[in-house]
Amino acid sequence: MNKQDVRTYRVTRSAILKHPGTPSSSIDITMHFTGPRIERAIYPPPPEKGGITITNEDEFCLNSGEFLNDVIIDFYLKYIMRELLSEEDRGRSHAFSCFFYKQLTQIPSVRNKPQVEDKVLTPSQKRHRKVQKWTRSVDIFEKDFIFFPINEASHWYLAVICFPRQQEHSLNLNILYKEITYAIDSTLETDQNNQTDKNEPTPSNHCEPEQPVANSNPSTEKTVAETNSEDMFAETDSDCNDNGDQYNCVSEQQVHGHRQEYRAPCILIFDSLRGPSRSKVAAHLRDYLNVEWSTRKEAELGPRVFNKNTIKMCTPHVPQQDNYSDCGIFLLQYVEQIFKNPIKNFNVPIKNLVEWFDPTDCQKKREEIRTVIRELCIKQGNDPDKQ
């Protein structure tokens, strides 16, 4: 039996993650596998297409203190979608692989000479062209949630496009106000019966419907590649900062003990280290949506523009990792949590996610994933203990 060869080296995380308040600028990380690679399992197994091969090298990433690689991320995302979600949730969700965003944003190599027709394409169209085949069998505009696992500077985080087809908020405010009025009238009637000699209280926190943001000329929005750097980063986290006093009263309005659901198109960034602004990511995804819509939907449904007014970005405060190695684990937990404990209000800024789940739950996820791989290994006739 050959032993796995593990190489230890020192890495400076401050050079990788420019994140304030980190406890140490450098740590020892054992993360390099050089032993013989042995196939553990394929998921989904043949004869299904698109199977991901998992090896002992990939499984090694599940050791405590190791960074999850793209194989484990892609495998478990697919496992979540296929095994853990209800049929309804599975039908309204789509997860791209880790390679999608990298391919979308990768600068073409100078060795790859552009084709003649490339000269008439916009930068957005050129980027879209590199990934256009990824949606041959899926209509992303029929989905409520589109997941993009992203790795930048050795750090995993999650981008989610929510309700891309929707152009207006889905909450029927007329119905909501009727229900609120009914609840208020019932309260006032009770007060009249109990305190007939007192004046009726006037509710001071009654919500007004959100006014839509006017877009005088949506067609003039520039693409990421066509704007200068100042315009590109004009949308910062402060645009949807969830630390202020502003609060969406619609989401908190409870009528007859039922919290109203409020849907709006948005791009959410879930980051377990709350790093730099991800507005550039949102800009790339909006560009992708614009070209995808014009390519696949415009002939049927007419033109549509995705910009900062029509699909806002927000980076909610979510449970955070307390080490340097669990970013991939938290990414997977965020995906699961969207269905375990659904967000009720998608009106930016999104609040009340700091205690979305207990961060200690993530401590068990490495073993949970390892158990799934082991079970797949046994089902496929492989020895899960072979090294």
For residue 347, pLDDT over 50 is answered with yes
What was the pLDDT predicted at 206? 38
Residue 323 above 70 pLDDT?
yes
- In this structure, what token pair is assigned to residue 101? 């965003």
Q: Which positions are annotated as active-site residues?
A: 155, 271, 327
In a domain, 210, yes or no: no
Please provide the average confidence, as pLDDT, over all residues in the chain: 77
pLDDT, position 239: 46
Instruction: Report whether pLDDT(65) > 70.
Output: yes
For 142-159, how does the pLDDT look when each residue is reduced to its tens digit (9 = 90+)?
999 999 999 999 999 999
172 falls within a domain = yes
Cβ neighbours, 10 Å, residue 58: 23
What is the domain count for the chain?
1
What pLDDT digit, counting tens, does each position of 236-276 carry? 344 454 443 333 333 334 433 344 578 999 999 999 998 78
Reported pTM? 0.73
pLDDT at 184 over 70: no
Does the structure show a pLDDT above 70 at 185? no
- The reported pLDDT for the residue numbered 218 is 41
Residue 161's closest CA among 246, 81, 270, 1?
270
Q: 209 lies in a domain?
A: no
Q: Is it the case that residue 2 has pLDDT exceeding 70?
A: no
Statement: residue 182 has pLDDT above 80: no
The predicted structure's pLDDT at residue 191? 52
Please give the pLDDT value at position 35.
73
Are 43 and 78 in contact by the 8 Å Cβ rule? The answer is: yes
* C-alpha torsion angle, residues 50, 55, 57, 61 (rounded to 10): 60
Within-domain flag for 203: no
Average pLDDT over residues 81-105: 97
Given pLDDT bands bounded at 50, 70 and 90, which one contains residue 189? Answer: low
User: Tell me: the pLDDT tens digits for 69-79?
Assistant: 999 999 999 99
CATH of the domain at 272: 3.40.395.10
- Structure-model confidence comparison of residues 251 and 349, the more confident one: 349
pLDDT digits (tens, 9 = 90+) for 198-215: 444 444 433 333 333 334
Indicate whether 385 belongs to any domain.
Answer: no
Q: 309 vs 3, 88, 235, CA distance in Å?
A: 56, 30, 11
In a domain, 197, yes or no: no
Which band of pLDDT confidence, cut at 50, 70 and 90, is reported for residue 305?
A: very high
Rounded to whole angstroms, the Cα distance separating 374 from 347 reads 41
The pLDDT of residue 119 is: 72
Residue 68 has pLDDT above 50, yes or no: yes
pLDDT of 19 above 70: no
Higher pLDDT, 363 or 257: 363
Compute the CA torsion angle 148, 153, 157, 161 (nearest 10 deg): -40
Domain of residue 280 covers 6-183+219-379
Of 308, 169, 128, 181, the closest CA to residue 251 belongs to: 169
The predicted structure's pLDDT at residue 114: 57
pLDDT of res. 194? 53
Q: 195 in a domain, yes or no?
A: no
Predicted pLDDT at 215: 42
Quick check: 356 pLDDT over 90?
yes
In whole angstroms, what is the distance from residue 217 CA to residue 320 CA? 39
Whether residue 88 is contained in a domain is answered as: yes
